[in-house]
Amino acid sequence: MTSGVGALWSARNSLRILVKRDLAVKYQQSVLGYLWSLIEPLGMGAIYWFVFGVLYSGATRRHLGDAAGSYPLFLVTGIFAWMWASSAMNEATNALTGQARLITTMNVPRQVFPIGRVTGRFAEYAAGLPILVGIAAVYAAHGKIHPGWSLLALPLAVAVQLVLLVGIALLLSAWNVLMRDIERFMRLIIRVLFYATPIIYPLSLVRDSGMPTWVKLAYELNPLVGIFQLHHAIWYPDEFPDARLLATTVLGSLLVLTFGWWSFRRLEPAVLKEL
């Protein structure tokens, strides 16, 4: 794995070119261009705010605590990070099948292609950070949030999410070449993950529920749970994951990366033969 990382670092210019190409192709015939990476999460945030912040505001406020007065910020913070995760998983699935000609002709580590999809979606997430900061500034000016040391949760959240998504991308891209059902299966999994992760609701809602203890423990084994707690903790320090959840999240993400890298290298000969 160490030698593979070294080879990947040597091919960083190729990775940068692939990311720029993917972004250019994605938005080349779009009038609004990169604005779509902002419009979609903001639109989703408006819909969920209407449902849970207006129609079911009573139930929402009981569990949000200090975040109740700035629920739109809570929503948008989670949805921006989710758009990065869901888009990366979706696009990584066909990262190899959709670029077969490049893969068989370019002399670069094949990991570059799925990692490029994750990096490209991170660029879209980064483009939305000024909007997120602007919304947070409005609430901070009205005294509804008090950001401080908790802002340091952002680089930690991004780093752990990047590790997890790279591992998942390596797994999905290789498996999908050999089993094309993976792409269809992931559409369902991604939809389930959205509601099985504290993106639009606080983790306390799950912990205070009447579900069996083993279900709650299994729920928190999902590394995305701790990752989104870190994202929310940027503005709401009380949401910072406890030591057990943080350790589970970091170790789980590293295990996924290790297993994804190992699987990709083991399946690479079969993948190249199939392509």
Give the tens place of pLDDT for each residue, 205-217.
888 888 898 999 9
Q: Which pTM value belongs to this model?
A: 0.86
Return all residues near 189 (Cβ < 8 A) that are at least 6 apart: none
pLDDT at res. 28: 65
- What confidence score (pLDDT) does residue 57 get? 58
pLDDT of residue 230: 95
pLDDT of residue 187: 85
Mean pLDDT (the chain, rounded): 83
> What pLDDT sits at residue 228?
95
> What's residue 30's pLDDT?
58
Question: Is the pLDDT at 194 greater than 80, yes or no?
Answer: yes
Report the distance separating Cα 182 and Cα 178, nearest Å.
9
**Is 70 exceeded by the pLDDT of residue 221?**
yes
Q: Which of 46-60, 78-92, 245-259 shows the highest mean pLDDT? A: 245-259
Of 55-64, 93-102, 139-148, 255-264, highest mean pLDDT: 255-264
- For residue 69 the two structure tokens come to 């007065």
**Among all chains, which residue has been given the structure tokens 């993950």?**
193
Give me the pLDDT at residue 55, please. Answer: 56
Instruction: Give residue-wise pLDDT tens across range 157-183.
Output: 999 999 999 999 999 988 988 887 787
State the Cα–Cα distance between residues 211 and 119, nearest whole angstrom: 37
